[in-house]
Amino acid sequence: MKYFLDTEFNGFGGELISLALVSEYGGELYLATHCENPIEWVAKNVIPIIRCHGADPFDIVPDFFGRAIAMFLDDDIEPVIVADWPDDIRYFCQALIVGPGQMVNIPGPIRFEVHRVESYPNTFGAIQHNALWDARALRAVLER
């Protein structure tokens, strides 16, 4: 099954703030964590909309992102993770690592696709720079 991915992070190379997966059939996972010292752009454009209309994340510590992803993907033996930017894939993969030489148990191979597409503007009121809305917008563009 395809899962459309988006992440928000604290500037280039900064820590992961939120991650969303939206399946091609509508299932959703939306995770967020506290950002201690957001850069100015993130403080202005990301932090205020992490929790907004239609997007209420599970607030967890960063160490549990991978476990939540594994639980969400548990029934899928061949997930395909689709993103519009390579950093989204990088943050997703980093979340799966839970210790030196250890990763969460994902039941089967994971494939990744990166499609450089524009999801905005759109017709359904998505809120740009919110990981869940961005993942929904990506699905809408690629599933037309």
SS3 (DSSP) at 29: strand
Instruction: Give the contacts of 70 (CB within 8 A, at least 6 positions apart).
Output: 96, 104, 105, 106
Q: Which CATH architecture has domain 2-142?
A: 2-Layer Sandwich (3.30)
Give the predicted TM-score (pTM) of the model.
0.95
Please tell me whether the peptide bond between 86 and the residue prior to it is cis, using omega within 30 degrees of 0: no
Give pLDDT tens digits along the chain (144 positions). 999 999 999 999 999 999 999 999 999 999 999 999 999 999 999 999 999 999 999 999 999 999 999 999 998 999 999 999 999 999 999 999 999 999 999 878 999 999 999 888 888 888 999 999 999 999 999 987
Residue-wise DSSP of 92-142? HHHHHEEETTEE---SS--EEEE------S-SS---TT-HHHHHHHHHHHH
